[in-house]
Amino acid sequence: MEGFTLNCTSSNGTHKPFLRNVEFMSISLLSGRARIANTVSTQCYNATNGNVTYDDWQMNLTATPFRFSSGLNKFMTVGCMTLAYLIESDTANSSYWSGCVSMCRSADNLSNGSCRGIGCCHTAIPKGIWYYQVHFAENFNSSETYNFSRCGYAALVEERAFKFRTSYVTTDELYRRRLPLVINWAVRNKTCREARQNMTSYACASEHSTCVDSANGSHYRCNCSEGYQGNPYLSHGCQEIDECANKNAYPCSGVCHNTQGGYWCSCPLYHVAALKLVSICISLVIILVIIFCIHIMCERRKLIKVKEMNFRQHGGWLLLEEIRKRQGLAFKMFTKEELEQATNKFHKNNILGHGAYGTVYKGILKDNRVVAIKRAKIINERQKKEFGKEMLILSQINHRNIVKLLGCCLEVEVPMLVYEYISNGTLFQLIHGNSRRIYISLETRLKIALESAEALAYLHSSASPPIIHGDVKSANILLDDNLMAKVSDFGASILAPKDEKQFVTLVQGTCGYLDPEYLQTCQLIDKSDVYSFGVVLLELLTGRKALYFEGTEIEASLSSTFLSAMKEGRFSKLLDDQIKYDEEVERINEIAALAKACLNVKGEDRPSMKEVAKELDRLKKIKQHPREQQNDAEIESLLNNPSIYREEENSGFYSLERNAMLSIEPGR
């Protein structure tokens, strides 16, 4: 075939195959590769006359079916002060494809087998090139080196066949030496399908041959079919393999029977016992596998039953039925596997925070929604019975200042809740963060307080049935990117009790925020949330924590410190430094008076959350509508509202008018 013809030339009595002046060292029909001998190019310095001579070897395979292998060859440069390039084309506009520089200062720096720039360097070549020539940089030569070879070397060589030796640099060992180079070959410019259309030029001549398309372009090669070996390019080149004659390559423990393109083994009588033993072993393995599969199936069934039991106990069927009835309800029943995938199996790196009732994780659902997943710690029997019903109620809460409940998982022992993700942390972090606190204006504090109060008022008054939060604190008020308040964490929440039997028997909540009346009676009511909200108001005003340490390292309650300061007329000393010198002293004092009303020991003497929200809304609007322009009758009604501000003999409370003078008048 054209381009594959090699000449057999005699050299020193030995016949060798050549293509032009290129010697072929080996040819592989199966892999489509050949190894040829490539002469090393040299750049030598003559110390006598200072001249530099070059012996640049080049190879042109343009009109042949051969290409240089990019995967098995490397362009090597050897020497001191030697910079060589590989040129990919013999045209005038040719460009340098590859090149590298090798340097060295002393023989101590050289190391056998190391070709990383000291005495030797190598670089890869691009795919599909058919021409190569070496070019040395004239400014880099061995004129400035001592005790080294006078020459620098470069060649494209088979990477596996070249091992660097220090003698290549210290002697002239590489001078005009020939090294192996790998070339790929194929029948060019046709695919197998195209080649079969013209059988006169089809290269796969043997009847037991197959055609293989090249992975790099429109080329193909021929291989002998399975069970045959030889030259597929000759008419009878692929001969059947006698597998029985080569037991090392084709093992057979019995009697070998050769067939066309294969072989098979039969067992003699003396192998029957061994065969029985093997059969018994295989049978035992099969039995063990069956037992193992049955065990896995039983465990899966147990797991499914446990999931179904948990789902039923938590009221899942009732909840699922209600969700189906209310088609517009955006609430989903998640599986345990879905939430594990969303949180990387609840990895610690996804933890957003810990609470008394569980841990909150950040999760990413399959639809790329970012959510907060609460994994509770415990749940009592009453909550188990009412959980599905309460989830249905919570799912219908739709208020801009309440974190939206997106769904839940009921097939686990303790249900998991899925909320919308709020990105800007908590009010607690904003006020008490470890880093340098940012400035928080009075308007911002009042806005956050109003939005939180409106959310709680909605739960108490507008939800059906009413909901008591049970754990109101700054850590449970989230903030979005615009510092909008979002009340969260309903882990301690209950539906408003209808009778005495429904009151809780175990006190829950957070120290520093707990209603003292709740501690005595264990009866969680809406006014318990009011007391806790009063502590949050104090945090906004003072910048202090609900429980904090004084200089004496004694834990103190912010609410008790505040009430004492109010009685002694030193409330202004507790104010946060950021608002202490605010010009709106009257408005600050009115907020303090509202907080004091919320902290009344008796729940019945506290205002409702609806009244608290209304008062905060009025205080927020004072900035926009100056007091002197307000309706006098409206102001009078706010001042005389007995449900918000009660003035009792022993309580030390002040009317709204007198609270405006707290900073200068001592309390009674």
Confidence grade of residue 492 (pLDDT, cut at 50, 70, 90): low
Average per-residue pLDDT for the chain: 81
CB-based burial label for 68 (10 Å; 0-12, 13-18, 19+): buried
CATH class given for the domain over 423-668: mainly alpha
What pLDDT does 653 receive? 29
- State the alpha helices, DSSP H only, in 191-271: 192-196
What pLDDT does 506 receive? 53
> Angle of helix 558-568 relative to helix 526-542, nearest 10 degrees?
70
β-strand partners of 28? 33
CB 377 within 8 A of CB 363: no
Global pTM reads 0.50
CA distances from 662 to 232, 560, 573, 644 (A): 107, 17, 11, 18
pLDDT of 159 strictly over 90:
yes
What whole-number distance in Å separates Cα of residue 281 and Cα of residue 267? 18
Give CATH 3.30.200.20 domain extents, the chain. Answer: 314-421
pLDDT of 590 strictly over 80:
yes
Residue 477: name the closest of 463, 461, 489 by CA: 489
Most distant CA pair in the chain: distance in Å? 130
Residue 656: name the closest of 623, 625, 626, 627 by CA: 627
Confidence grade of residue 42 (pLDDT, cut at 50, 70, 90): very high
Confidence grade of residue 62 (pLDDT, cut at 50, 70, 90): confident
Confidence grade of residue 654 (pLDDT, cut at 50, 70, 90): very low
Q: Which amino acid is at 111?
A: S
Exposure string for 216-242, b = 16+ CB within 10 A, e = fewer = eeebbbbbbeebbbbbbbeeebbebbe
Over range 340-357, report the average pLDDT.
85
Catalytically active residues are: 471
Q: Count other Cβ atoms within 10 Å, centred on residue 150.
A: 19
What pLDDT does 534 receive? 95
| Two tokens, residue 269 | 């009588």
Place of tokens 């009344």: 600
What pLDDT does 189 receive? 83
Q: Which amino acid is at 362?
A: K
- In tens, the pLDDT along 189-238 reads 888 988 888 888 888 989 899 999 887 677 888 999 988 999 998 988 99
Higher pLDDT, 242 or 140: 242
| Two tokens, residue 519 | 């501690």
Q: Count other Cβ atoms within 10 Å, centred on residue 20.
A: 10
- In tens, the pLDDT along 518-537 reads 888 888 889 999 999 999 99
Most confident residue range from 208-217, 279-288, 496-505? 279-288
Higher pLDDT, 157 or 142: 157
CB 252 within 8 A of CB 244: yes
CB-based burial label for 384 (10 Å; 0-12, 13-18, 19+): middle
What whole-number distance in Å separates Cα of residue 524 and Cα of residue 67? 86
pLDDT of 667 strictly over 50:
no
Tell whether domain 314-421 is in CATH 3.30.200.20: yes
Three-class SS of residue 506? coil
Over range 655-664, report the average pLDDT.
31
Give CATH 1.10.510.10 domain extents, the chain. Answer: 423-668
What pLDDT does 665 receive? 33
User: How many CA atoms within 13 Å lie on the side-chain side of 234?
Assistant: 8
Residue 516: name the closest of 450, 598, 611, 456 by CA: 598
Percent share of the chain, pLDDT over 70: 82
Over range 165-186, report the average pLDDT.
90
Confidence grade of residue 630 (pLDDT, cut at 50, 70, 90): very low
Lowest average pLDDT, out of 374-383, 523-532, 638-647, goes to 638-647
What whole-number distance in Å separates Cα of residue 608 and Cα of residue 527? 7
Residue 465: cis peptide before it, omega within 30 degrees of 0: yes
Residue 102: name the closest of 116, 117, 124, 122 by CA: 117
What pLDDT does 357 receive? 65
What pLDDT does 410 receive? 85
What pLDDT does 98 receive? 81
- Please indicate if the annotation marks 610 as binding a ligand: no
Confidence grade of residue 502 (pLDDT, cut at 50, 70, 90): very low
